[in-house]
Structure 1
Amino acid sequence: MCGNNMSAPLPAIVPAARKATAAVIFLHGLGDTGHGWAEAFAGIRIPHVKYICPHAFDIYGLSPDANEDESGIKRASENLKALIDQEVKNGIPSHRIMLGGFSQGGALSLYTALTTQQKLAGVVALSCWLPLRNSFPQASANSVNKDMHVLQCHGDADPLVPFIFGSQTAERVKSLINPANITFKTYRGLPHSACPEEMVDIKRFIEKQLPPIRDE
């Protein structure tokens, strides 16, 4: 997200079919926009869940082996926390909000969930890695999300974010939160992209972690 640039485009939103009592904030990868992911979530929509897909979460140098832009990552993480706060003001408590993202978007959602003081429902982390990994576990020492659930998905034919980065990230995250709450799914032959089988797994995960509230 472009710092405090007030002209940043509004997120692509898939509204809930009825009153929204849960939300998923999902961040795209480098050079993409939120539109494609909004379409993907429209295909697996859950009636009480609102999907928010921001644009312009590009952080240059955020890749598994690049010199990481620490200030950029932290600034983008603060912007993401502000989006969470906005949904809380809209009436959705933070523990009914899930973060997610693809590639650098997944990296940013993992980092934010592990360092924020906002209690979250979980993270969907696709084809990604944990940024600023040398700052952990100190960065997550006071995390309120040690019991959150994480669904991590990775194609075993990913040429951009090698599969080994995904599996190593899962092991690292297991040392930071309850390891029983981490699910790592592998998709045979999948490059740096998503697939229909993965979207079904994501829908099941969201349904489990963000069930309807009884009075809906």
Structure 2
Amino acid sequence: MNYLDSNRLECIVTETGPDPDASVIWLHGLGADGHDFEPIVPQLQRSSARSIRFVFPHAPVRPVTVNGGMEMRAWYDIAGMDIARDQDREGIADSVARVDRLIDDEIERGVPAERIVLAGFSQGGAIALRCGLARSERLAGVIALSCYLLEADEIDTWSTAPGRAAPVFMGHGSMDPVVPMALGRHAAERLVAVDVDVQWQAWVMAHGVHPDEISAIDRWLAERLGVPA
């Protein structure tokens, strides 16, 4: 099935001030939608001190095999419980192309690539990593939460030198039953092995976002976007 023939991703857009000079594109997890991370914007108090455009896209609706073929918003199909195997390459490629288009849209709106951060949670985080590290220009950074590295064994093939130059923030729950922390840690180690600047942190939580994690993201994001302390 060729999902690229359908319309562009629908997005929720929030701006923290007039004439934003930076953008954050934030991808939700499996079964959620763009509204899922809308509430995080007012919690990013330091980084939001300057005008930022937050873009929260809705993933396409697709059948998800592991959920009995039920249709839901998903960045790619998941064939079974071993999420690191049997990856849906067609769905991954489709979502990477869609997110690339969102990044290009922001550049066309006047935000340079080095002022764009790509963020995501779970499936969204996996796509953020896969997309950000493959860009032809360096982004401001990638935030990858509670996720893993797609096509990890082929990273030398699909990643680019500018993509690998973007710093990465990775956060994970030590008790995550959905995406085991070992997968997230392995992703961080694999990125470090190809010279990506990775900040890895773990919190005592399940598959979610910790308040201290939001504070850490706020500090990291403010540093990437040049917000004064």
TM-score, structure 2 as length reference: 0.85
1:148 aligns with 2:166: yes
1:19-168 matches, cutoff 5 A: 19-45=19-45, 46=48, 47-56=50-59, 58=74, 59-61=76-78, 64-140=83-159, 142-168=160-186
Q: Deviations over 1:154-194 (max 9, x none)?
A: 0000000001001111000111234xx21100102x10011
Paired residues in the alignment total 207
1:170 to 2:209 alignment: no
Query: Aligned equivalents of 2:18 and 2:195: distance in 1?
Result: 33
**Equivalent residue for 1:185?**
201
Q: For each residue in 1:48-106, what CA deviation from the matched residue of structure 2 results, as whole angstroms up to 9, or x when unmatched? A: 21111101251112873341111210111011111000001111001100101000100
Q: How high is the sequence identity, in percent, across the aligned residues?
A: 29
Q: Alignment partner of 2:5: what SS? A: coil
Q: What displacement does 1:24 show?
A: 0.6
Q: 5+ unaligned residues in a row in structure 2: which ranges?
A: 61-73
TM superposition score normalised by structure 1: 0.89
Q: Secondary structure at the match of 2:13?
A: strand
RMSD: 1.8
Output the amino acid matched with 1:202. Answer: I
Please give the per-residue CA displacement for 1:96-149, whole angstroms capped at 9, x wherever unaligned: 001010001000000111112132011100000000112121222x33123221
The alpha carbon displacement at 1:9 in A equals: 5.9
Residue aligning to 2:16: 16
State how far apart, in whole Å, the 2-side matches of 1:133 and 1:18 are: 39
Partner-residue secondary structure (3-state), 2:36: helix
Q: Retained in 2: the 8 A contact 1:64–1:131? A: no
Tell me how far 1:211 sits from its aligned partner.
1.5
Q: Does 1:194 align with 2:209?
A: yes
